Amino acid sequence: MKTENYDIVIIGSGLGGLTAATLLSRKGFKTLVVESRNRIGGRFSTFEYEGFKLPTGAILIPDGWVIKLLEEMGININNLRPVTRVYYRINGKSYDIPPEIGVPKALDIIDKLEREEAEKKGRPMKPVELSQIMRGYYKKMKGIKQDEILTVRDWLLQYTENEKVHEAFDTLCTGLMMAHTWELPISKFFLFQAMEKFFIAPNGNLSIAKELARVVEKNGSVWTNCPARKIIVKEGKATSVIVEKAGEQIEIKCKIVISNTGAKTTVALAGRENFDDEYLKVMRIRLRPSPCLLALIASDKPLCLEGIHDGLEIIMGSRRIKTVIPISNICPELIPPGQHLIYTSAKSESTLHPMDVKYEIQQIKRDIKDFFPDFEKHGRILKMRACGIINEWPEGRTWLCHGMPSETPIPNLFNVGDSCVAPGLIGTPGSVESGYRVADLVEKIL
Ligand SMILES: Cc1cc2nc3c(=O)[nH]c(=O)nc-3n(C[C@H](O)[C@H](O)[C@H](O)COP(=O)(O)OP(=O)(O)OC[C@H]3O[C@@H](n4cnc5c(N)ncnc54)[C@H](O)[C@@H]3O)c2cc1C
């Protein structure tokens, strides 16, 4: 078999892999990134469809880790489009609420609406208990006990039984932390590092991934259409990676292997026999892939509700759709002339059990009809994607604060990406941070 030599092989060109690759190749290490698909970026990429540039996953880039990486790599961030407004859709009406006061303000609105409704119908209301919730909220933020297993829903039940408040918390939980309130422990909820500012890449995330790849290529290579088939482990250390390139197998000898494929696939590539029982047990407990459904809606006239021009809309109390973004208003470059595009993401009923895709899609279609009255006449679902917990493309490879350690029992094999997010982080910031962490560890070893 043909062989080649690199200091570091990185399997997968998602954000975590590209972060580690750029940092390490800039430090002078000869780095190879191998990507099984024909395009780089993983769930942070773009594909063309009927003239639209569509996301493979992430659309919103939160301020913080990703921006820090781009700045450090000399990539221009000035063209990123800020998503400045956050709207909350409550009882079918949209409210423009600044992110820093989002939760209390939304609860305040729910309180008022509930009172009005109760008065109108002459029925008693279940109190919202805003001040009690907020007091409990701030008290908890100061003293979180890590081992607390009370769920977010149980914590909230101490203060209120009001269904609308529970729906509001569930929307936040599923949208930001990857799990429902009845699934996520309260101790994790309060570790979430809130994001207040978001951006969208006007040329698609693939354009950013390509710029990162160009940084790697100054001192290394990025190979697409090149799946890693096996990580060879000898005497407890990773010695090489077998990859397939243009129908041929090549052995890449290296000092360090970094996998961006998710901890489970890393184990499969390196062989279960090389991981101790404790590691495999932690992996089974921690990894809780989070499903989501993505519906991209095209139309020949703007469908979004009046006033929702340039923002992100968080939907409270819908069947499935939790987020709506009118992409064409923010980044018209991604859309063919005369067309409009709305990005919606939805959560299935459980993030623990595989979804019934047909049923979930029915629910989403009912939401779409309710939200966009002109949909039937002017719109169409351009693409619908179910990112389930059993396929390899979940919204997140695990919930908030459930990340695996990046280190493995094999001392020169590491994981990056959203299966090993640090506490408090998820999504793209979580993946980038893991790349920084691992690049640091690798630099120390080499
Ligand atoms: C629908 C959806 C919406 C999302 N929205 C947002 C959002 O708005 N904001 C946000 O911050 N996050 C969002 N996320 C999450 C975010 O996209 C991910 O957390 C992040 O992109 C994951 O990056 P990663 O480093 O784990 O790599 P991944 O994206 O998982 O990339 C891994 C790469 O490894 C490759 N690979 C796998 N096996 C092999 C192999 N054997 N050999 C070679 N290559 C291999 C894959 O092809 C892939 O390209 C969303 C995700 C989805 C699915």
**pLDDT tens for residues 167-178?**
999 998 998 888
13: containing domain: 2-45+203-287+400-445
Residue whose Cα lies nearest atom 49 of ligand 1: it is: 42
Q: Where are the beta strands (DSSP E) in 218-291?
A: 220-223, 228-234, 237-245, 248-253, 256-259
> What mean pLDDT comes out for the span 166-192?
90
Give the rounded distance of the alpha carbon of 179 from its chain centre.
12
Burial class of residue 58 in the structure, from the number of CB atoms within 10 Å of its CB (0-12 exposed, 13-18 middle, 19+ buried): buried
**What pLDDT is attached to residue 91?**
87
Is 195 a residue whose pLDDT tops 90? Answer: no
**What pLDDT is attached to residue 374?**
92
- Choosing from 158, 189, 220, the residue where a domain stops is 189
- Considering the domain architecture, whether residues 150 and 233 belong to the same structural domain is answered as no
Is 147 a residue whose pLDDT tops 70? Answer: no
**What pLDDT is attached to residue 136?**
86
Is 200 a residue whose pLDDT tops 90? Answer: yes
Residue whose Cα lies nearest atom 34 of ligand 1: it is: 12
Residue whose Cα lies nearest atom 41 of ligand 1: it is: 228
Residue 363 lies in a domain: yes
- Considering the domain architecture, whether residues 133 and 172 belong to the same structural domain is answered as yes
Which pTM was predicted?
Answer: 0.95
Residue 314 lies in a domain: yes
> What mean pLDDT comes out for the span 250-277?
98
Q: Are 46 and 292 in contact (CB under 8 A)?
A: no
> What mean pLDDT comes out for the span 153-173?
93
- Considering the domain architecture, whether residues 278 and 415 belong to the same structural domain is answered as yes
| Ligand 1 atom closest to Cα of residue 435 | 25
Pocket-forming residues, ligand 1, beta carbon under 6 Å: 11-17, 34-37, 42-44, 57-60, 62, 227-228, 260-261, 265, 292, 294, 345, 387, 393, 395-396, 417-418, 427-428, 431
Q: Tokens standing for 210?
A: 């390509």
| Ligand 1 atom closest to Cα of residue 385 | 1
Burial class of residue 260 in the structure, from the number of CB atoms within 10 Å of its CB (0-12 exposed, 13-18 middle, 19+ buried): buried
Confidence of residue 148 (pLDDT cuts 50, 70, 90): confident
> What mean pLDDT comes out for the span 39-67?
96
Contacts of 217 (CB under 8 A, 6+ apart): none
**What pLDDT is attached to residue 102?**
81
C-alpha to C-alpha distance for 59 and 41, rounded to whole angstroms: 13
Max Cα–Cα distance, the chain, nearest Å? 80
Is 99 a residue whose pLDDT tops 80? Answer: no
- Considering the domain architecture, whether residues 168 and 253 belong to the same structural domain is answered as no
Confidence of residue 94 (pLDDT cuts 50, 70, 90): confident
**pLDDT, mean over the chain:** 93
Is 421 a residue whose pLDDT tops 80? Answer: yes
- Considering the domain architecture, whether residues 155 and 235 belong to the same structural domain is answered as no
Greater confidence (360 vs 137) lies with: 360
**What pLDDT is attached to residue 146?**
67
Residue whose Cα lies nearest atom 16 of ligand 1: it is: 427
Is 305 a residue whose pLDDT tops 70? Answer: no
**What pLDDT is attached to residue 262?**
96
- Considering the domain architecture, whether residues 283 and 404 belong to the same structural domain is answered as yes
- Considering the domain architecture, whether residues 283 and 411 belong to the same structural domain is answered as yes
The CATH number of whichever domain residue 377 belongs to comes to 3.90.660.50
> What mean pLDDT comes out for the span 144-162?
87
- Considering the domain architecture, whether residues 367 and 321 belong to the same structural domain is answered as yes
Confidence of residue 308 (pLDDT cuts 50, 70, 90): low
**What pLDDT is attached to residue 27?**
96
**What pLDDT is attached to residue 11?**
98
> What mean pLDDT comes out for the span 148-168?
92
Of 352, 300, 305, 339, the residue nearest 325 (C-alpha): 305
**What pLDDT is attached to residue 54?**
97
Pocket test of ligand 1: the residue of 39, 242, 260 to mutate, having most ligand atoms within 8 Å of its CB, is 260
Residue 151 lies in a domain: yes
Is 306 a residue whose pLDDT tops 60? Answer: no
**Ligand 1 midpoint to CA 34 (Å):** 15
Residue 195 lies in a domain: no
Q: Looking at 65-74, 137-146, 152-161, 369-378, which range is the least confident one?
A: 137-146
> What mean pLDDT comes out for the span 388-397?
84
> What mean pLDDT comes out for the span 123-145?
83
> What mean pLDDT comes out for the span 312-325?
91
- Considering the domain architecture, whether residues 279 and 404 belong to the same structural domain is answered as yes
| Ligand 1 atom closest to Cα of residue 265 | 38
> What mean pLDDT comes out for the span 372-400?
90
- Choosing from 357, 387, 417, the residue where a domain stops is 387
Residue 69 lies in a domain: no
- Considering the domain architecture, whether residues 141 and 167 belong to the same structural domain is answered as yes
Residue 395 lies in a domain: no
The CATH number of whichever domain residue 244 belongs to comes to 3.50.50.60
Of 369, 362, 403, the residue nearest 384 (C-alpha): 362
- Considering the domain architecture, whether residues 303 and 273 belong to the same structural domain is answered as no
Q: Looking at 65-69, 94-98, 210-214, which range is the least confident one?
A: 94-98
Total of domains in the chain = 3
Query: Regarding beta strands 85-90 and 311-315, do their DSSP bridges make them parallel or antiparallel, or are they unpaired?
Result: parallel
Residue 210 lies in a domain: yes
> What mean pLDDT comes out for the span 209-218?
98
- Considering the domain architecture, whether residues 299 and 369 belong to the same structural domain is answered as yes
- Choosing from 387, 415, 432, the residue where a domain stops is 387
Residue 58 lies in a domain: no
